[in-house]
Every structure is written in C-alpha cells, then in structure tokens.
Amino acid sequence: MKYKIGMYGGNFNPLHLGHVNNIIKASNVCQKLYVVLSVTKNKNEIDHRERFKWLKNITSDMDNVCVFEIFDDSTSKDKTPWEQERDDIVNFIKDKIDVVFCGDDYKEKNIFERLYPNSEIVYFDRKEINISSTMIRGNPYKYFDYLPNVVRLYYTKKVCVVGTESCGKTTLVRNLAKYFNTTHVEEAGRYICDKAGGIDNMQKYHYFEILFKHKQLENDAMKSANKVLLIDTDSLITLYYYNLGFNDKDSLNKSFNDVATGISNLNNYDLYLFLEPDVEWVQDGTRTYGEQSIREENNNTLKQLLDKNNIKYVSISGDYDERYKKSKEAIMRLF
C-alpha cells in the first residue's frame, strides 16, 4: 500500500457512483481509509442516518474502510467550520493522516493544503464519472443510473392500487409494472385464501398472515424496483375484508385493527390509485360480493376507511384501457 492512513470526506447528499468510484480508488492505496460523512445544519440535507447507512452498505465488504460522522454543531468564534471539521476528524482518527482525497473542483483553492499541511492531497478527476449530487437532487430520476442500488431505494416511488372485488387491480398492476419496466407486488391474500381452502374457510389468523406476508413481498420487490414499485392492495384493504368477514367485537379484532393501521402508517406510499367498481364483476373462485348494489355499498365503506386513516387517493374509473391510461398519467406526475 502506498499510504498508511487516508481520509475522504463529503456530504454524500446523495451518495452516487462518482463517490463510490473514489472510495474504491482511495481504499486501493491505503492500509486504512476513513470515509467521513459531514453533517451540517442544512435542513434540506437528506437525513444523516440515511446517508450513513448508504456508506456503511457500500463499504461493508471493504475491511480497510471505516465510516464515521462529524457534526457541524460548533459555536466557536475562533474557528471556521472547515477548521472545526478538521479538528473533529483528527481527534477521531488520532493517527497521522498521510493522504487526503478530494474532488478536483477544490484544486488550486488551497483549502485542504492549508487544513492538512502535513498530508499529501490527492485530487480525483470528477469527469471520470461526470455526475454531481447537485445534479441528482435537481432530477434524481433523470440520473437514476448514477445511483447505487441502496440509494435508489430512497428515491423509488411506491404506488398502491386499491379497490373492492373485481375492479381490475391485479391486471392493472401487472400491466403498469410492464410499462414502467419494474417490479410489482401481487396480493398476498389470494395465495393465502387458496391455501386456507377458500374464502369461506378463512379464519382470523389467516388475515394476520396476509398482513405480514404482503409486507415481506413488498420489501423483497423494492430491492429490484426501477424508479417505481407497483403494489396490489395494502393493509387497510386487508382490514376492510377482515371487517366484512368478522363482525364480533373481541380483543383480537382490536389487535388486528391496530396492526393493520400501524403497517399502513409505516407504508407511507407516494400514491394511491382507487379503482371504482364500474367494470363487469368476474368470479375467480374467491369472490363473494357480485351484486352491483353490494359492490357500491362496499366501495363506499372502503372509501370511508381510507378517509378515516387520512389516505388521499386518485379515483380511477372507466373501461380497462381508460384505467390504464389514467393510471400511467397519475404515476408520471410523481416524477
């Protein structure tokens, strides 16, 4: 190794492949490389815990890399923020810093030479991967290919398609996923209902199983989503069907309501598409409420449940092609 101790720092707001390339190159020439996340008081910065997670994830298999944070919380009038950061870094590393790495946009500004007079300063060519955090913040979806997979998760939009029975949710989710070239989550309830022996054989514990299985499927699908993840149904829809099947008011019902609404609050979906029941009802072996008057009554009940939980949604009606077109337009507005 050329150097014993090296340091490379930044805001990483967000982390991009240019940063990753620099970390790799620096780690290749250092026995120990310290990657420093600088956290400022700028409220527009991505949460530092998110950025720290990205750096830890990227460097998890790099044994000679250590990631740590420094915080711009100094009130000293005798030091500039740069000097305070330098002191915090030196105090953390303790050993002599042989080399400091930075982008060549700092070249000839003499900042790092002044701060680290006993260290060699190595400048990376930023044009090698011609991207910046500023460019990404301006339009992350335009520069999505420059984001590491772990960072893409942060920017991926989650779109949930909801509605009552036989309103085309499954087909629409599949088609939208194909159009946006991304992954999707199918309704876990269909699989568990089949496993239980049909809708009439569903017991309360099956609905708990649906909640957890669906969330697991969503987490798995997010890992390979392309800018947007399409989701068929959410926990409040499972709660809606649970209430249709069980009218008794026991402690288990309260527990189920708490779990379902808790998961819904955690989901934090970017868009809900609500499919109106104005297409023909089709029996697929698991459906029960086919009469139009019942469909409309259940539709209103479901909307009331969403309203109660402060879920804003875009109403989608019309034939299948109209639904497909309106849904695409609503999703594109997210970007």
Q: State which residues form the domain around 129.
A: 3-150
Both 111 and 235 in a single domain?
Answer: no
Query: From the centroid of its chain, how far is CA 185?
Result: 15
The per-residue pLDDT for range 217-274, each reduced to its tens digit, is: 999 999 999 999 999 999 998 988 888 888 777 778 889 999 999 999 999 899 999 9
Backbone phi, psi, residue 106, to 5°:
-95, -5
Both 146 and 168 in a single domain?
Answer: no
The listed range with the strongest mean pLDDT (11-15, 76-80, 278-282) is 11-15
Both 134 and 222 in a single domain?
Answer: no
Angle at 333 between CA 331 and CA 335, to 5 degrees: 90
Both 44 and 104 in a single domain?
Answer: yes
Both 326 and 202 in a single domain?
Answer: yes
Both 138 and 198 in a single domain?
Answer: no
The per-residue pLDDT for range 33-59, each reduced to its tens digit, is: 999 999 988 888 999 999 999 999 999
Q: How many domains does the chain have?
A: 2
State the CATH number of the domain containing residue 193.
3.40.50.300
Both 301 and 204 in a single domain?
Answer: yes
Both 128 and 225 in a single domain?
Answer: no
The widest CA-to-CA distance across the chain, in whole angstroms, is 81
Both 130 and 163 in a single domain?
Answer: no
Distance CA 53, CA 67 (A): 10
Q: Which of 150, 176, 211 is the last residue before a domain boundary? A: 150
291: confidence class by pLDDT, cuts 50, 70, 90 = low
For the chain, strand residue ranges (E) read: 3-10, 30-39, 65-71, 99-103, 120-124, 157-163, 184-185, 228-232, 271-275, 314-316
Which tokens is 208 given? Answer: 């708990």
Type of residue numbered 154: Y
Which tokens is 197 given? Answer: 């022996």
Both 264 and 128 in a single domain?
Answer: no
287: confidence class by pLDDT, cuts 50, 70, 90 = very low
pTM of the model: 0.85
Helices (H), 197-277: 204-222, 235-245, 251-267
> What is the side-by-side strand order in the sheet with 184-185?
184-185, 228-232, 157-163, 271-275, 314-316
Which tokens is 253 given? Answer: 């019902």
Both 49 and 173 in a single domain?
Answer: no
- pLDDT on residue 76: 61
* CA-based nearest residue to 177, from 191, 163, 192, 158: 158
Both 124 and 163 in a single domain?
Answer: no
Reduced 3-state DSSP string for 134-197: HHHHHCCCCCHHHCCHHHHHHHCEEEEEEECCCCCHHHHHHHHHHHCCCCEECCHHHHHHHHHC
State the CATH number of the domain containing residue 59.
3.40.50.620
The listed range with the strongest mean pLDDT (17-26, 181-190, 238-247, 264-273) is 17-26
Q: Which of 119, 135, 150 is the last residue before a domain boundary? A: 150
Q: Which of 150, 184, 216 is the last residue before a domain boundary? A: 150
| Dihedral of alpha carbons 95, 99, 101, 105, sign | positive
Between the two ends of the chain, the Cα-to-Cα distance in Å is 45
